[in-house]
Amino acid sequence: MQALFDDYVAAAGLATELVNTAPGVWHGEDQLDDDAALASFLAEHGVTDEVGPGDLAAVHDVRARLRAVLDHRDAGDLAAGASALVARGLGTVGLDPDGRGRLQWGARPRPDASLADRLALLGGLGALGALRALGPERFRDCASDTCSGVFIDTTRPGRRRYCMPDLCGNRANVAAYRARRKASGGSS
């Protein structure tokens, strides 16, 4: 996954989905409770890194730090927190091709950056890009009264209300999801 400054939507989406895997968010359980769960989360987001020893605990730490950033509602606090995350993984700034082959400003991780450092870089850049383009009001709490999730709304109209729109907006869906997880031993 690239970290292009002006192409923040995917990175902001990754940041949102990473923080909402934490225990205590709507489904209660930790969605990244082992290396396999982390590997499939990464694959879903186009991150090709292998998961090695120590990565899971480090990603949990970055997830908590990212959550603390997304809980801010003040632009200055958001920018400072997101910048600190970026600094954790940043190597150099350069020009990288976007999906159409046009060169765009982008951040490249340090050569020795760990998986967690790279996720911090991506999540921090996603938050900074959304803050710059859309403003601090796009950082919100999930509107569901049974969910403690947060999200960055990068939709064009800006009217998103739930951290996981297909689930938190619909109690019946949550019940069905919980039942499926229980039936599958929580591995899905």
Chain residues in the site for Zn ion (CB under 5 A): 26, 142, 144, 147, 149, 162-163, 168
| Least Å from the CB of residue 118 to Zn ion | 26
Q: Measured between alpha carbons, how far is residue 40 from residues 43, 46, 66, 158 in Å?
A: 5, 10, 20, 29
| Least Å from the CB of residue 68 to Zn ion | 18
What phi, psi does 147 have (nearest 5°)? -125, 135
Between 113 and 152, CB nearer to Zn ion: 152
With 0-12 CB in 10 A as exposed, 13-18 as middle and 19+ as buried, what is 90?
buried
Between 106 and 149, CB nearer to Zn ion: 149
Contacts of 170 (CB under 8 A, 6+ apart): none
Contacts of 140 (CB under 8 A, 6+ apart): 150, 151, 153, 160, 161
| Least Å from the CB of residue 71 to Zn ion | 14
Between 82 and 168, CB nearer to Zn ion: 168
Rounded to whole angstroms, how far apart are CA atoms 157 and 15? 20
| Least Å from the CB of residue 76 to Zn ion | 26
Contact assessment for residue 140 and residue 165, using Cβ atoms and an 8 Å cutoff: no
Rounded to whole angstroms, how far apart are CA atoms 147 and 127? 21
| Least Å from the CB of residue 7 to Zn ion | 25
Between 114 and 144, CB nearer to Zn ion: 144
Between 109 and 149, CB nearer to Zn ion: 149
